[in-house]
């Protein structure tokens, strides 16, 4: 099955700086890569996703890049704000009827004011 | 707005008890999932279902079973609870059709403590 590794496990950044989280996956057939954000005490929510037919996707201060050859993808958060403090999970999936996701272990991001 | 609800936010059970965790979604989603979340391990898939009465094992099904008698409801059953099943349990649902419908919507979670 798919194995997703995520680094770092914790990340502390100064407000206004950038944060980068990296994930690698094992199954070259995977073609869908979402990122979920979980604020303290709340449920995970999708913040951005990318399919294997594109290399980069942006949504305001958030961007995701994908390198299919190397089987890794990254989340980039620019101009970090206190509300970006959360646990971020990457995931990989082979798009099919079940859309089963394999998640990374998570990265706890703390934005220092 | 998609709404996924779980029957309890907190649950305390004794070792050996049979435990039922209920999940209900109101968006007519075909796919439903049960995960457990543990620090440093992320979200691990226990079971999923892509249709009524259908179920598939995830990565860690041992000690668990599931039931999907109705499309909107997916139940996780711990036949005989053990202390190593103390965890946060998250339910999720998603549509089946491809396109921009792959998003999994999560419930608020049930924090289970087995004594």
**pLDDT per residue over A46-75, tens digit each?**
999 998 888 999 999 999 999 999 999 999
Task: For the beta carbon of residue B1, count every other beta carbon within 10 angstroms.
Answer: 5
- From the list A45, A102, A8, the residue with the least C-alpha distance to B42 is A102
Residue among A44, A99, A103 minimizing CB distance to B102: A99
Residue among A42, A43, A100 minimizing CB distance to B48: A100
pLDDT of A95 over the 70 cut: no
Q: What is the pLDDT of residue B80?
A: 97
Residues of B in contact with A6 (CB under 8 A): 42
pLDDT of B114 over the 90 cut: yes
- Interface contact B31-A98, CB threshold 8 A: yes
pLDDT of B71 over the 70 cut: yes
d(CA A69, CA B41): 26
B94 close contact with A: CB closer than 8 A: yes
SS3 A87: strand
| C-alpha gyration radius of chain B | 13
| C-alpha gyration radius of chain A | 13
CA A25-B87-B112 angle, 5° bins: 150
């Amino acid at each position: 099955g798919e194995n997703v590794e995520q680094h770092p496990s914790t990340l502390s950044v100064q407000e206004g700086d950038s944060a980068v989280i990296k994930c690698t996956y094992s199954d070259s057939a995977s073609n869908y890569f979402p990122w979920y954000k979980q604020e303290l005490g709340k449920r995970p929510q999708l913040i951005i996703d990318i399919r294997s037919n594109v290399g980069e996707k942006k949504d305001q201060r958030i961007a995701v890049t994908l390198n299919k050859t190397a089987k890794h993808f990254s989340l980039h958060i620019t101009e970090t704000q206190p509300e970006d403090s959360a646990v971020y999970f990457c995931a990989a999936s082979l798009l099919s009827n079940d859309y089963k996701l394999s998640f990374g272990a998570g990265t706890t991001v703390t934005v220092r004011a | 707005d998609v709404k996924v609800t779980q029957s309890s936010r907190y649950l305390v059970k004794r070792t050996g008890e049979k435990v039922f965790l209920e999940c209900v979604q109101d968006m007519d989603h075909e796919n439903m999932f049960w995960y457990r979340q543990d620090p440093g391990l992320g979200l691990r898939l226990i079971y999923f279902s892509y249709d009524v009465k259908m179920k598939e094992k995830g990565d860690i099904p041992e000690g668990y079973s599931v039931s999907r008698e109705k499309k909107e409801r997916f139940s996780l059953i711990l036949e005989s609870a053990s202390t190593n099943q103390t965890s946060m349990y998250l339910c999720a649902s998603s549509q089946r059709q491809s396109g921009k419908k792959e998003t999994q919507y999560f419930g608020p979670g049930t924090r289970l403590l087995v004594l």
